[in-house]
């Protein structure tokens, strides 16, 4: 499975490189107006590559936080399960006949 992911990522990178080289002509300059800065002659290939890189980083960070929160939830549920199992075992080990002879008249 890991080799399939690596192969798929290599195909994606090769496709991206092919796409970027097709858009790397002389007329492929665009005007980019970001909030903080403006670029007059930015190459389209660099815009595409930058957008893809930012998207991958945001996706990776959101996946990492999701996995970490899932692991912490699993850990807390395992601790709760362990404590409930110990409580159940303690209740099972209580002697059943402790209160049998504690009647008032001495009768059963």
pLDDT, one tens digit per residue, over 56-102 is 889 888 888 998 999 999 999 999 999 999 999 888 887 665 555 55
pLDDT of residue 97: 56
Beta strands in the chain (DSSP E): 29-33, 38-43
Q: With pLDDT > 90 as the criterion, what percentage of the chain qualifies?
A: 19
pTM for the whole structure: 0.59
CA 72/CA 39 separation, integer angstroms? 44
pLDDT, one tens digit per residue, over 60-69 is 888 889 989 9
Spans of all domains in the chain: 14-93
């Amino acid at each position: 499975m890991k080799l399939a992911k690596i192969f798929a990522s290599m195909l994606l990178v090769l496709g991206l490189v092919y796409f970027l080289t097709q858009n790397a002509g002389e007329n492929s300059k665009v005007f980019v107006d970001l909030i903080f800065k403006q670029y007059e002659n930015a190459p389209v290939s660099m815009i595409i590559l930058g957008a893809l890189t930012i998207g991958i980083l945001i996706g990776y960070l959101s996946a990492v936080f999701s996995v970490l929160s899932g692991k912490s939830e699993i850990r807390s549920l395992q601790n709760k399960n362990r404590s409930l199992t110990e409580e159940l075992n303690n209740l099972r080990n209580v002697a059943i006949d402790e209160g049998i002879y504690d009647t008032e008249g001495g009768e059963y």
